[in-house]
Structure 1
Amino acid sequence: MRYKRILTFLLMFSLIFPSLSFADATPGDVIITLGQDLTETQKEAILKEMNAPENPQTVVVTNAEEHQYLGNYIPKARIGNKALSSASITIGEKGSGLDVTISNHITLITEEMYANALITAGVKDATIYVTGPFDVSGTAALTGIIKAYEISSDQVIPEDVKQIANEEMVETTKLSEKIGADDAAALMAKIKDEIAKNAPKNDEELRTIIVNAANDLGITLTDADIDRLMDLFKKLMDLNIDWNQVGEQLNLAKEKLTNFLESEEGQSFLNKLKEFFVNLIDAIKNLFK
């Protein structure tokens, strides 16, 4: 599972809009996004949880903004009437990739879903931590991170890009309810990977990519699932992504995977995994003695 999550993240890291970056921010800079409806006590607790620096640059997210970007894809009742989820964004070195971590208080959106949507919006090279004052969906955090990106980079993300990033996150969430979060995120990443390698020329070729990606991952999709994914990726392809650059980034992602597995950290992980299974087998054998 850990290996699969690593591979999923690496695939997603590579699927970016090269023209967008934290160009005007310095590595190590921290931007905090806070839901507007947090109480002062909740804000203080969240800032402490994030280990936020003194007087950090702060971006406030409103519930109206949540509805603006998610209202077309999620029922209003599910979005709610308060903006509470918050995030810490630490700018990384160029080429360091995107690292997303969530607390146990984020109940609807997974790390992979945030990463996938943020990469679509053009966010990269940052460490992001998402949390809330108690169990919350996490929808406000995505809006806040994208908003913080615009402020920190002094660039405006086109509205259609913001919309498709949110739509992608919601579609991945819907799929996760049927096939699991890891498989849903892996499927989205694999489809993008195949589009980067073999740009479909028509709807039939796009459908083939989606179906083959699902089959390769052992995922069963209904016709309705395929139609929704077709609609999403047709919109994504209309955003003029530099797919040649995507292919180059995929090669870098493969190198990162190889480097991880050959690194001390990677070898330690593999050894612990092997040790776990050896102990598990021994425990099973002991049951029958």
Structure 2
Amino acid sequence: MKKSILGIFTALCLLIFPQVSFADAAVGDVIVTLGKDLSSQDRQKVLKEMNAPENATIIEVTNDEEHKYLGDYIPKAQIGTRAISSSSITVAKKGTGLEVQTHNISRITDEMYLNALMTAGVKDAKVYVTAPFEVSGTAALTGLMKAYETTSGEKISEDVKKVANEELVTTSELGEKIGSENASALMAKVKEEISKNGVPESKEELEKTIDSAASELGVTLTEDQKNSLISLFNNMKNINIDWNQVGDQLDKAKDKITKFLDSEEGQNFLQKLIDFFVSLWNAIVSVFTGGGTSESNG
């Protein structure tokens, strides 16, 4: 159980690009990104929900920007014609890591935002993603990268943005077939292998690395799923990734998670999780065996 949870948490913490914190922002500063197509009423509703301070930096995201960065990977109809989803980023202390919460976001999970932000080089921030009603969440992703550029004064290269979005979509689509946790864990495992053994020189070697990671996790991939991963990691090869740093960051993430699981708080968490599954199993058994207290007539 502990090993399984460690693997899932590590998958969410894996960083594949060198990170840079908000260089020109102070701890506690808030940057808000708003979908440009929000109505005035919805705009105020979102700002109130975020509890955004009056001096927060506000950045708007357009639907054209969504299509620019996601159009190669998601059908136009799926992206839609309006930028609605919005977000806030609160700059945190150095070394505290990323924290993401979402509300009314249907397609993009918390973990997918984490991965995309880490890919873009963002760290040490609390992120809140929301919308006045249920939406896909693509505008917020675009806005978060835009907010980083504005705040840090550093330009995220177009290649990095494209790979980050490709990774987001690939993981999302894979998660729909094998589960989001399995998809995240698989991505993390492949990256871990590359950081330890180097970038595979050929397609065959890369395929072998993916097969090995999938087998270790007990995941079965179709040829199409495997080919999409091969394409993604081939694109990563063309970007200057410090894979040694990837390995170091992964090791640190594992250490942090292990310390939590070994702590009293972590042990309480594990026990509650075990108790939940025991209760769930007992309930299922009771249904199929007609369990429960029987009443006699007489």
In the superposition, the TM-score normalised over structure 1's length comes to 0.92
Cα deviation digits, residues 123-151 of structure 1 (max 9, x gap): 12211111111010000011000000001
* Matched ranges for 1:173-252 at <5 A: 173-199=172-198, 200-252=200-252
- Once the two structures are overlaid, the 10-residue window that deviates more, 215-224 or 82-91, is 215-224
Q: Which amino acid aligns with 2:168?
A: M
**Structure 2 equivalent of residue 119 of structure 1:** 118
The DSSP-based 3-state class of the residue aligned with 1:287 is coil
Q: Note if contact 1:207-1:230 (Cα within 8 Å) is conserved in structure 2.
A: yes
The DSSP-based 3-state class of the residue aligned with 1:87 is strand
**Structure 2 equivalent of residue 287 of structure 1:** 291
- Once the two structures are overlaid, the 10-residue window that deviates more, 157-166 or 21-30, is 21-30
| Structure 1 residue 266: Cα displacement | 1.2
Q: Note if contact 1:9-1:112 (Cα within 8 Å) is conserved in structure 2.
A: no
Within 1, Cα distance between the matches of 2:41 and 2:182? 38
| Structure 1 residue 256: Cα displacement | 0.6
Within 2, Cα distance between the matches of 1:72 and 1:125? 30
**Structure 2 equivalent of residue 107 of structure 1:** 106
* CA spacing shift, 1:255–1:165, aligned 2, 3 Å: same
Within 2, Cα distance between the matches of 1:78 and 1:249? 34
Q: Note if contact 1:96-1:125 (Cα within 8 Å) is conserved in structure 2.
A: yes
| Structure 1 residue 44: Cα displacement | 1.2
- Residue 18 (1) aligns with residue 18 (2): yes
| Structure 1 residue 19: Cα displacement | 5.2
Q: Percent identity?
A: 57
**Structure 1 equivalent of residue 139 of structure 2:** 140
Within 1, Cα distance between the matches of 2:160 and 2:152? 16
Bigger radius of gyration among the two: 2
Q: Note if contact 1:10-1:256 (Cα within 8 Å) is conserved in structure 2.
A: no
In the superposition, the TM-score normalised over structure 2's length comes to 0.89
Q: Which amino acid aligns with 1:38?
A: L
Count matched residues: 288
* Matched ranges for 1:48-67 at <5 A: 48-67=48-67
- Residue 72 (1) aligns with residue 76 (2): no
The DSSP-based 3-state class of the residue aligned with 1:214 is helix
Within 1, Cα distance between the matches of 2:276 and 2:225? 37
Q: Note if contact 1:9-1:115 (Cα within 8 Å) is conserved in structure 2.
A: no
Within 2, Cα distance between the matches of 1:36 and 1:183? 34
**Structure 1 equivalent of residue 95 of structure 2:** 95
Cα deviation digits, residues 51-100 of structure 1 (max 9, x gap): 22223111110000000001111111110000000111111222222222
Unaligned 5+ runs, structure 1: none
Unaligned 5+ runs, structure 2: 294-298
